[in-house]
Amino acid sequence: TDPLNVLFIVVDDLRPTLGCYGDKLVRSPNIDQLASHSLLFQNAFAQQAVCAPSRVSFLTGRRPDTTRLYDFNSYWRVHAGNFSTIPQYFKEKGYVTMSVGKVFHPGISSNHSDDAPYSWSIPPYHPSSEKYENIKTCRGPDGELHANLLCPVDVRDVPEGTLPDKQSTEQAIQLLEKMKTAARPFFLAVGYHKPHIPFRYPKEFQKLYPLENITLAPNPWVPAGLPPVAYNPWMDLRQREDVAALNISVPYGPIPVDFQRKIRQSYFASVSYVDTQVGRLLSALDDLQLAGRTIVAFTSDHGWSLGEHGEWAKYSNFDVTTRVPLMFYVPGTTALLPQGGEKFFPYIDPFDSTSELMQTGRQAKGLVELVSLFPTLAGLAGLPVPPRCPVPSFHVELCREGQNLQKHFQFDDSKEASSFRG
Amino acid sequence: NPRESIAYSQYPRPADSPQWNSDKPSLKDIKIMGYSIRTIDYRYTVWVSFNPEEFLANFSDVHAGELYFVDSDPLQDHNVYNDSLGGGRPSAWMLP
């Protein structure tokens, strides 16, 4: 009868290159393990394939045409309407709401405050090592430090001897430890920075993806019938030192094929690195006996093109940039409650090749949207689901433009429950 | 029924051809908006004129279109918009 806690994990620029989405190459055992106890949406889409507009959209439950944020330069409460956010709604319902890492996009679009104090009970946490992300910390073949796109690092070598996502995981675990004995339920949002560029990750993860195993995208050329307006010229990649040195022609490139494979290798390595962080966080949830009373929602803000259509990065309407991973673990609904110290999320080392293939959890095929997160999380937590928005809804503080996805959580338990125990 | 589900996405552009700010145009520079409607069967996108002062899209002014059928073209490489719609105005039921 106690209200369920919520752990909301959002991973920056993560496309569904995960084992639980059928990817045969990428090693993501901890996210796959979460999926095995969750309802996984196979066809979930962002409303705009770029950070701030997507995040403001799903955190307010409004589409970009209502938030009127298509770039990075306005704060919806000033520019469009005083729309409530998911954390704000939970906070008003008595939850302790906390933000770690990149949940709102930093800067103007979240009022330079991650929308605190509206959304958060305590000041949002940002890892101190984030400030080194885009400076010269990548050791090149010349032994010098560069601001590269491809940036596998020796963590002992980097400033502060740590990386932002490691710090975020540590902070989130500390908050979980504090909340374990708290009288009030919590809504903890953890935003991981990788695999957003630069691909700056512990270099050992490269070993999981030997270059000889890395192929090009299945369709690495600009399609003949693609309207020029639809094409995104991936200008952010071109500004990185190692890419700039290739003198790639604008706007269509192409990137030399060996470098294309290196980009793909580093993206996959970054995904496995984030998987280890998610694994540490979830195993802490287990160890603190919180898994039986905490909803875990896992998603990303948009996808990323890895050379498909001759494109890289996000900034388009293609499926590879708008389709996202989306799954919900709901104790007692998508999985039976852990019995007597049973562990649902023991940490799995992606380097451990013996870790067995994960069984799949429940899956939903229908197309769904990130704008549905607000009503769905509210409903799953037993809170009143915000009403549908009128059109237009600029004057309405609390309403939703997305569907409540709870109808996907009605399972025929008799048949399924027995399989769960197995 | 998965067949009834629909997902909408959109993306802004400053011009019909790729240029330095095509990836991330500032609001004042947005002249075109690409609206996508997705179903289990197809992906349909129209790139229409957009007025950043009024926040208004003009669906009568279609700059370009894309149509991909999921079963026959899952990687979205063969745009059949012009073939199948004759480049005419999008049908009303396809508009967000």
Q: Over the stretch A159-170, which tens digit does the pLDDT of each residue have?
A: 999 999 999 999
Q: What is the pLDDT of residue A422?
A: 33
Candidates A44, A71, A365; nearest CB to B26: A71
Closest by alpha carbon to A94, among A222, A184, A219, A17? A184
The pLDDT mean for chain A works out to 95
For residue A78, give Cα distances in angstroms to A82, A103, A124.
7, 20, 21
pLDDT band for position A98 (cuts 50, 70, 90): very high
Joined together, the tokens standing for residue A70 give: 């298509």
Whole-number percent of chain A with pLDDT over 90 = 91
Cis peptide before B12 (omega within 30 of 0): no
| pLDDT digits 0-9 by tens, A185-198 | 999 999 999 999 99
SS3 A378: helix
Using only C-alpha atoms, what is the Rg of chain B?
A: 14
Only one residue has tokens 């470098």, namely A259
Q: What is the pLDDT of residue A417?
A: 45
pLDDT at A400 over 80: yes
User: Do residue B45 and residue A43 have CB atoms under 8 angstroms apart?
Assistant: no
B34 touches chain A (CB under 8 A): yes
User: Do residue B66 and residue A317 have CB atoms under 8 angstroms apart?
Assistant: yes
Q: CA A221, CA B76: separation in Å to the nearest integer?
A: 12
pLDDT band for position A338 (cuts 50, 70, 90): confident
Burial group, residue B29, by CB count within 10 angstroms (0-12, 13-18, 19+): middle
Q: What is the pLDDT of residue B91?
A: 52
B72 touches chain A (CB under 8 A): no
For residue A234, the Cα-to-chain-centroid distance in whole angstroms is 21
> Which residue in the list A37, A105, A146, A408 is annotated as catalytic?
A105
Joined together, the tokens standing for residue A183 give: 């009288």
Q: CA A109, CA A105: separation in Å to the nearest integer?
A: 7
Only one residue has tokens 């679009």, namely A109
Across the range A87-112, mean pLDDT stands at 98
**Residue A389 appears among annotated catalytic residues:** no
Q: E strands along A243-396, which residues?
A: 294-300, 305-306, 312-313, 323-329, 362-369
Cis peptide before B2 (omega within 30 of 0): no
Joined together, the tokens standing for residue A129 give: 């090592």
**Residue A51 appears among annotated catalytic residues:** yes
Closest by alpha carbon to B47, among B24, B81, B76? B81
Across the range A370-382, mean pLDDT stands at 98
pLDDT band for position A210 (cuts 50, 70, 90): very high
Q: How far apart are the CA of A405 and the nearest CA of chain B, in angstroms?
A: 11
| Residues in A 107-146 with any Cβ partner in B closer than 8 A | none
| Residues in B 13-32 with any Cβ partner in A closer than 8 A | 13, 15-27, 30, 32
Candidates A46, A232, A365; nearest CB to B9: A46
pLDDT at A420 over 50: no
Across the range A136-147, mean pLDDT stands at 91
Neighbours of A215 (CB within 10 A): 12
Closest by alpha carbon to A350, among A43, A33, A37? A33
Q: State the distance between the two ends of chain A, measured CA to CA, in whole angstroms.
A: 27
pLDDT at A414 over 60: no
Q: What is the pLDDT of residue B86?
A: 53
A313 touches chain B (CB under 8 A): yes
CA trace torsion B21, B26, B29, B30 (10° rounding)? 90
Residue B6 corresponds to which amino acid?
I
Contact partners, residue A68, CB within 8 Å, separation at least 6: A74, A76, A79, A80, B27, B55
Joined together, the tokens standing for residue A143 give: 């032994």
Contact A300, A11 (CB under 8 A): yes
Residue B56 corresponds to which amino acid?
L
A422 touches chain B (CB under 8 A): no
Which spans in A140-288 are helix H?
164-180, 235-238, 241-244, 257-287
Name the more confident of A419 and B63: B63
Q: CA A76, CA B11: separation in Å to the nearest integer?
A: 18
Q: What is the pLDDT of residue A415?
A: 46
Neighbours of A280 (CB within 10 A): 17
CB pairs under 8 A between A and B: 146
User: Do residue A47 and residue B55 have CB atoms under 8 angstroms apart?
Assistant: no
Q: What is the pLDDT of residue A413?
A: 58
Candidates A43, A230, A368; nearest CB to B34: A230
- One pLDDT digit (tens) per residue for chain B, 96 residues: 666 799 999 999 999 999 999 999 999 999 999 999 999 999 999 999 999 999 999 999 999 999 999 999 999 999 999 987 654 544 554 444
Q: CA A163, CA A322: separation in Å to the nearest integer?
A: 27
Contact A44, A372 (CB under 8 A): no
Closest by alpha carbon to A255, among A240, A269, A277? A240
Joined together, the tokens standing for residue A136 give: 């010269």
pLDDT at A115 over 80: yes
Name the more confident of B2 and A78: A78
Give the largest Cα separation in chain A, rounded.
63
SS3 A182: coil
User: Do residue A47 and residue B45 have CB atoms under 8 angstroms apart?
Assistant: no
Q: A26-35: b or e for each residue (b if 16 or more CB lie within 10 Å)?
A: bbbbbbbbbb
Joined together, the tokens standing for residue A321 give: 């940039």
For residue A21, the Cα-to-chain-centroid distance in whole angstroms is 14
Across the range A314-327, mean pLDDT stands at 98
User: Do residue B23 and residue A233 have CB atoms under 8 angstroms apart?
Assistant: yes
CA angle, residues A278, A284, A289, in degrees to nearest 5: 130
B9: chain A residues, CB-CB within 8 Å: 45-49, 317, 322
Of A17-31, A266-280, A320-334, B77-91, least confident by mean pLDDT is B77-91
Contact A373, A61 (CB under 8 A): yes
